[in-house]
Structure formats: C-alpha cells, structure tokens
C-alpha cells in the first residue's frame, strides 16, 4: 500500500493520468475516487468484451467513452 500511495502522489505531482484497474466493488471505486483517480475499469463497470462487440452495442458506448467516477 505505501508504494501505491507514493505512485498516486507522483502521478498527481507530474500530471500523469491514472487508471484504477480491477475495480470490483463500490468500496474500491470510492477509495480510488477519494485518492484522486478519475478513470476506473473492472467488473463493477462491465465484463471484458472484444472491442468490436463493445462498439456495436450502443447502450455501452457511453460507459466505454466516459469514466463512471
């Protein structure tokens, strides 16, 4: 955890955009958002799909393009 926090602080200082991966619960999403991570991916937001399947499903285009946080 300390290394993760150091990495987050480094990204904030250097304006590097972060993506939180393996977000599976609302609690994980909340912690990531409170840490300042705006982009998230994981089973909480949707199951893995082949890109052309994701793009062909119009209901998923909004979720694909925008962060839920």
Provide the residue-wise pLDDT of the chain in tens; the chain has 69 residues.
677 889 999 999 999 999 999 999 999 999 999 999 999 999 998 887 777 776 776 655 555 444 444
**Beta-bridge partners for 20:** 40
Can you give the pLDDT at residue 42?
92
Q: Is the separation of the CB atoms in 60 and 54 below 8 Å?
A: yes
Can you give the pLDDT at residue 34?
92
Can you give the pLDDT at residue 66?
47
């Amino acid at each position: 955890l300390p290394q993760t926090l150091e990495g987050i602080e480094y990204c904030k200082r250097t304006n590097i955009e972060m993506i939180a991966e393996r977000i599976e619960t609302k609690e994980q999403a909340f912690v990531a958002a409170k840490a300042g991570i705006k982009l998230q991916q994981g089973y909480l937001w949707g199951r893995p799909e082949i890109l052309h399947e994701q793009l062909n499903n119009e209901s998923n285009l909004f979720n694909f393009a925008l962060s839920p946080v």
